[in-house]
Structure 1
Amino acid sequence: MASDPWQGHNFAALFAILIAGAATVLGLSVYLCSRLTRQARRGYTPFAVWRDVTLATAAVALAHYLWGCLHVLFLEDQEQAEECERQRPEGTPTLVGRRGDFIPLRLVCEASDGRDYSVIIPDYINPTVAVLLLLALACAVTSALLHHKQRTTTRQKG
């Protein structure tokens, strides 16, 4: 129920993210390992190298995100509430709710004075995912520029 102030992450969404994410990481890993064969390495171009670095960086970012999701998955509602109480900052009044956010990934404990704080998800997850996604974006742009340059050079020769 959306009006429940004590809702955490939606279990169905969390489970779907974990299944789809794990399948994606596995698929990317298999693809990237196939790119390490001698035959595949012979045909490497700068564009292909940057493309594969982009995919590897995105896979690592997704793996970190899934690691954070697993922290939430294995805690029952009661355990989440206990963690909110255990990590409540000094001077924070009564807790009035709990919510789960997927972006950024966090479990937020809400206090009656309007302040909130995050628990359960390790502090390094969201910054690591953000940095890796920015790196993947930079690699993707580099790959696209190299691919465009390669196509332009090939057209001029032909």
Structure 2
Amino acid sequence: MASDPWQGHNFAALFSILVAGAATTLGLTVYLCSRFTRPARQRYTPLAAWRDVSLATTAVALAVYLWGCLHVLFLEDQEQGEECERQRPEGPTLVGRRGDFIPLRLVCEASDGRDYSVIIPDYINPAVAVLLLLALACALTSALLHYKQRTTTWKKG
């Protein structure tokens, strides 16, 4: 129920993210490993290198995110509540709990209006953000090299 103050992460969504994310990470890993074959290495260009670095950092970001999801998956509601209670600041009582997927966190809500995050390791969200920014920079570099290659080829032809 949407008005339940004690809801965590939706299990169906969490499970779907884990399955789809694992399949995507596996697919990216297999593709990137195929780039190490002799024929692929012989055709390697700077454009392909930047593209592959972008895909590799995306795969690592996804793996880190999935690692954070696993922390939530293996804790029952009662254990999540206990963790909220263990980390509750002195004074206020616990009034609710919610799960967010972006950023990935399990938020405990205190009666004084303050929220605090538990269970998900502190490094997960910053690592995902930095890796995705790096992936974007590499993808943009690859796109720029592709654009330059196409315009140079077009002017010659």
What one-letter code is carried by the residue in structure 1 that aligns with 2:37? Answer: T
Q: Secondary structure at the match of 1:48?
A: helix
Unmatched segments (≥5 aa) in structure 1: none
Identity of aligned residues (%): 88
Alignment correspondent of 1:24: 24
Alignment correspondent of 1:38: 38
Cα distance in 2, alignment partners of residues 124 and 90 from structure 1: 25
Q: Deviations over 1:19-39 (max 9, x none)?
A: 000000000000000001111
Q: Deviations over 1:96-116 (max 9, x none)?
A: 000000000000000111101
Alignment correspondent of 2:141: 142
Cα distance in 2, alignment partners of residues 4 and 147 from structure 1: 51
Query: CA offset at residue 6 of structure 1?
Result: 0.2
How many residue pairs are counted as aligned between the two chains?
A: 157
What one-letter code is carried by the residue in structure 2 that aligns with 1:139? Answer: C
Cα distance in 1, alignment partners of residues 24 and 38 from structure 2: 25
Query: CA offset at residue 156 of structure 1?
Result: 1.9
TM-align CA RMSD: 0.7
Alignment correspondent of 1:60: 60
TM-score (norm 1): 0.98
Q: Secondary structure at the match of 2:98?
A: strand
What one-letter code is carried by the residue in structure 1 that aligns with 2:133? Answer: L
What one-letter code is carried by the residue in structure 2 that aligns with 1:68? Answer: G
Q: Secondary structure at the match of 1:117?
A: strand
Q: Is residue 110 from structure 1 mapped to residue 109 from structure 2 by the alignment?
A: yes
Q: Is residue 155 from structure 1 mapped to residue 137 from structure 2 by the alignment?
A: no
Query: CA offset at residue 155 of structure 1?
Result: 1.5
TM-score (norm 2): 0.98
Query: CA offset at residue 67 of structure 1?
Result: 0.1
Which stretches of structure 1, 4 residues or longer, exceed 4 Å deviation after superposition?
A: none
What one-letter code is carried by the residue in structure 2 that aligns with 1:9? Answer: H
Cα distance in 1, alignment partners of residues 46 and 19 from structure 2: 33
Cα distance in 1, alignment partners of residues 86 and 37 from structure 2: 51
